[in-house]
Amino acid sequence: MREFFATCPKGLEYLLVEELRGLGAADVHEALAGVHFRGPLETAYRACLWSRLASRILMPIAQFPAVDGDALYQGAHAVDWSAHLDVDASFAVDAVGGTAGISHSQYAALRVKDAIVDRFRAHTGKRPDVDTQRPALRVNLVLRRDRAILGIDLSGAPLHQRGYRQGTGPAPLKENLAAAMLLRAGWPAIHAAGGGLVDPLCGSGTLLIEAALMAADVAPALRREYFGFLGWLGHDAALWKMLHDEAAARARTGLQALRPVFFGFDHDPAVLNEARRNAQAAQLSGFLHLGRQSLEHLHRPHELEAPGLVICNPPYGERMGAAPELAALYRTLGNRLRAEFPGWRASVITGDPELGHALGLRAQKTYRLYNGAIECVLLNFDLAAAATPRAPKPLSPGAEMLRNRLQKNWRHGRKRAEREPTECWRVYDADLPEYAAAIDLYRDHLHVQEYQAPASVDEQLARTRLRELVRVAGEVLGVPRERIAVKTRRRGKGGGTYGRLDARGEFLEVGEGGLVFLVNLWDYLDTGLFLDHRPLRARIRELARGKRLLNLFCYTGSVTVYAAAGGAAETVSVDLSPTYLDWAARNLERNGFGDGRHRLIRADAFEFLQRDTARHDLIFVDPPTFSNSKRAADFDVQRDHVRLLDLCGERLAPGGLIVFSNNFRRFKLDEAALAGFAIRDITPATIGFDFARQPRIHRVWELRRS
């Protein structure tokens, strides 16, 4: 079994997981803009041949520290390249990312290229050539958190390049994004039920061709002549021939049974000619009906009797068109869909949610996708419901105010989040008292946590407001209801408690500060990543270089991961929960820190400190407000913090630092009892942009021995 990584555009990860599982991959789990999987070489070959969603298939061959260019060169030079590349062949190096001492990917690629050339020259007296266009071997380099991952790019060129595209329109759609749209729209099931496909703004025909290839069971890369593994010395030519012959046989069978149910229209004759050339190159010209027609005259083709799918990629202002004209185009599209396609499905992608509203149709589902660097939303409609349009229930005046506030928060906050960078931030925090909840964004999911409503507020009214909040948040942020986790409060004895939580076992990988973390939005009251501690985690990363860190009450280990990324000499993370420690281990592993320098210990914090004999340069303490665990003595942060910090002080190395944090709003630090420490309140520096409206979310102090 080998390790592989399939890259893909953001937003396609979940679809790619299912696709790779269907191709026989094992241990499949998503990451940001890609999917990890395992399997024999046959699985990777199948992915190269059959994946409609992946961009590249990478096979890691080496990992090593690479804090600077010299370390990168030495690590790459140590690889036995003669096992992968013939000295008389050509190669190229692609690089992404950076480390503390390497800020330019081109420089990194050059250092690896030099290492490969020098190793061959030292062992053979000859060197391979460099060919950046079509090398025999394409080497992939990823730099992240002062480590390098070297791999073989088995695809050689992006897999979305199927080989049939002869020309494109002014706003081309990548083939793997087109395939994702079709899958999200349910095209395979629609075709199996006898339905056809119409693209009223077909451009160069990408959606039509991808739909036909899918329906005919034609492997998307069947007609590609170039793959990265063909020049790799580990290539199994007999295995590849068997897989390719099998795919060719399936294509012949599928094309013989394919019905010509694909209709594309456009008003531009030039792009229609491109669509015809592309269809011919894909050997599908006899199955596609292409015609010049304006959107105003769109009608259901009389050849299509069963309900089918209308799908298109209208312009949305990033490359072509202007806003007023585009709004009119979308209104026209919505009107024609209602009038001509009752009972059908429709799917429209747009980079501007306001243009999506101009369709005048209520989306049944929405998905966030990326067309290159452009963030888009895919809107799926059930035109059976649209045939007798039912306007959504009008929002109350309060909900309209909520919509305006969310739009403002999103507009300002997303730019700050991109600069940090983070995929997780608080979008709303009871900004309007009537809508008492926190809304947190986790990549393309929302986590909504209801606050306790005053006793004077009718319980039914509170539920209505929560439903409005969830609806408005999903609409404004483009998140479908199935990706919104809602934690609701209910009144019980002694106050409010949260209702029964789900037990899905679903984990989502999210990015923050160039690192990745697993969160679970459904199964626990907390998600696994405290968003208000984001600036504090970044501060720990700066403090940790060369230090020995002790992380007490470590929870899921996010602070430990930051410290490791900052260059901590070693870390010790302590928690009483085996669930959290397992979670922390997975977070460390996913960031490349699953080695012996980062220990995880299951213990009560007080018991650990009393028996620990080591000295620590940096101690991070973020205890709960209280705990009544059956496995340890009761804990109350107000009552017990002096004893806790005194014990930490005994374990502190000379010149060491304690960072103490807690979220108890009525907490008072007993500075008189802690007179042996020099204490500094650093809370203002640890409040992120998204918590500026609630600066009392936590308190943080730094303590040093006087």
Rounded Cα distance, 201 and 267, in Å: 8
Element (H, E) at 459: helix 459-477
Tell me the two tokens of residue 666: 């009525």
User: 3-class secondary structure for 121-190?
Assistant: HHHHCCCCEECCCCCCEEEEEEEECCEEEEEEECCCCCCCCCCCCCCCCCCCCCHHHHHHHHHHCCHHHH
Q: Give 64's strand partners.
A: 148
Residues of the chain with CATH 3.40.50.150: 175-216+258-387, 530-705
Q: For position 373, what pLDDT does the model report?
A: 82
Of the chain, the end-to-end C-alpha distance in Å amounts to: 56
Q: For position 524, what pLDDT does the model report?
A: 87
Q: For position 319, what pLDDT does the model report?
A: 40
State the DSSP string of 2-39: EEEEEE--TT-HHHHHHHHHHTT-EEEEEETTEEEEEE
Residues of the chain with CATH 3.30.750.80: 397-498
CATH superfamily of 530-705: Vaccinia Virus protein VP39 (3.40.50.150)
Beta carbons of 37 and 6 less than 8 angstroms apart: yes
Rounded Cα distance, 260 and 243, in Å: 28
Helices and strands, counts by H and E, the chain: 19, 32
Element (H, E) at 484: strand 484-487
Query: What are the phi and psi torsion angles at 224 (to 5°)?
Result: -75, 140
SS3 457: coil
Other C-beta atoms closer than 10 Å to the C-beta of 141 total 22
Q: Interhelix angle for 41-50 vs 237-257, to 10°? A: 40
Tell me which residue of 139, 107, 142 sits closest to 31, measured CA to CA. 142
Exposure of 348 by Cβ count < 10 A (0-12 exposed, 13-18 middle, 19+ buried)?
buried
Beta carbons of 490 and 496 less than 8 angstroms apart: yes
Q: For position 327, what pLDDT does the model report?
A: 83
Beta carbons of 376 and 349 less than 8 angstroms apart: yes
DSSP class of residue 198? E
CATH superfamily of 397-498: RNA methyltransferase domain (HRMD) like (3.30.750.80)
Please enumerate in sequence order all residues whose Cβ is within 8 A of that of 342, keeping only pairs 6 or more positions apart, or say none: 383, 384, 386, 387
Q: Which amino acid is at 537?
A: R
Q: For position 83, what pLDDT does the model report?
A: 97
Rounded Cα distance, 254 and 670, in Å: 76
Q: For position 43, what pLDDT does the model report?
A: 98
Pairing of strands 147-153, 56-65: antiparallel
Beta carbons of 469 and 435 less than 8 angstroms apart: yes
Q: What is the CA radius of gyration of the chain?
A: 28
Q: For position 494, what pLDDT does the model report?
A: 41
Q: Give 516's strand partners.
A: 511
Q: For position 21, what pLDDT does the model report?
A: 96
Rounded Cα distance, 59 and 140, in Å: 9
Rounded Cα distance, 590 and 46, in Å: 25
Please enumerate in sequence order all residues whose Cβ is within 8 A of that of 341, keeping only pairs 6 or more positions apart, or say none: 198, 300, 307, 310, 383
Beta carbons of 148 and 141 less than 8 angstroms apart: yes
Beta carbons of 29 and 16 less than 8 angstroms apart: no
Fold of 2-153: VC0802-like (3.30.2130)
Largest separation between any pair of C-alpha atoms in the chain = 87
Tell me the two tokens of residue 97: 């990312």
Collect the ranges in the chain with pLDDT lower than 70: 167-171, 317-324, 385-392, 454-456, 489-504, 629-632
Q: For position 7, what pLDDT does the model report?
A: 97
Rounded Cα distance, 320 and 323, in Å: 10
Rounded Cα distance, 125 and 50, in Å: 40
Q: Domain 175-216+258-387 class?
A: alpha beta
Please enumerate in sequence order all residues whose Cβ is within 8 A of that of 345, keeping only pairs 6 or more positions apart, or say none: 185, 186, 190, 307, 308, 309, 310, 380, 381, 382, 383
State the DSSP string of 416-450: HHHHTTBSEEEEEESSSTTS-EEEEEETTEEEEEE
Q: Give 600's strand partners.
A: 573
Tell me which residue of 219, 176, 206 sits closest to 33, measured CA to CA. 176
Beta carbons of 487 and 525 less than 8 angstroms apart: yes
Beta carbons of 588 and 563 less than 8 angstroms apart: no
Angle at 175 between CA 172 and CA 177, to 5 degrees: 90
Tell me which residue of 471, 418, 469, 470 sits closest to 443, measured CA to CA. 418
